Amino acid sequence: MLQLRNAQGPRARRLIGRTLLASALLTAVAALPAAAAAPQTPATAAAPAPARGETGAPAYQQVAHFYGAYIDAVTAENGGRLATDLRNFYLTRQLREQLNTWEQRNHADGVLRAQNTPLAFRVTPGDSAAGHTWSTVRLTWSTGKHPTYSYLTVRSDLHTGKISGIGD
């Protein structure tokens, strides 16, 4: 057994023992990813993961992330640089061009299809086909007994995870 000569009393030995235990646990935890990455034999090899695009999250979650961040950005900055950066990251170039045209014609925000900012939103996954998936975004505009909602259909590209269409 390890003797700790410099440890003065049982309290100091407990502290050193806890430190050694913590170090051993951290070493074991650090070794786990390396063991998991070790090559597997053909008998135990797992099937390859299905391709899900570059985003790693289901498309409707990407839509929810975008709308949550976008509404916050528009609320905080009134459509400033952050909202533009979010559009550049989450939306395809073609959709950004379509939204710009729509916004000039309608004098409203093309992502929200409104001049105001909604109080809340909800994203519901929909059908997928031909490399795309559709989600329904419900925007909440008022509260109370009879809240006001509007609904948008959002198309996402399954390969890139980017939003490629927004319609009423």
CATH number, domain at 64? Answer: 3.10.450.50
Give 3-state DSSP helix, strand, coil % of the chain, rounded to 5: 45, 20, 35
Let me know if residue 38 belongs to a domain: no
Is the sign of the CA dihedral 66, 157, 154, 61 positive or negative? negative
Over residues 106-116, mean pLDDT: 95
Whether residue 86 lies inside any domain: the answer is yes
| Average pLDDT of every residue of the chain | 78
Higher pLDDT, 33 or 122: 122
Helix (H, G, I), strand (E, B) or coil at 50: coil
- Residues 130 and 121: beta-carbon distance below 8 Å: no
Q: Is the pLDDT of residue 14 over 80?
A: no
Do the domain assignments include residue 146?
yes
pLDDT at 9: 57
Residue 52 in domain: no
The tally of domains found in the chain comes to 1
- 8 found inside a domain: no
Strand segments, DSSP code E, in 24-146 are: 120-129, 132-140
Q: How far apart are the first and last CA of the chain?
A: 73
Identify the domain containing residue 85 by its residue range. Answer: 59-167
* 19 within a domain of the structure (yes/no): no
**pLDDT bucket at 59, cuts 50 / 70 / 90:** confident
Indicate the burial class of 66 (C-beta count within 10 angstroms; 0-12, 13-18, 19 or more): buried
- Does a structural domain hold residue 72? yes
Cα(165)–Cα(92) distance, integer angstroms: 8
Taking the model in full, what pTM does it have?
0.66
Maximum mean pLDDT: which of 5-9, 15-19, 118-122? 118-122
For residue 161, is it within any domain?
A: yes
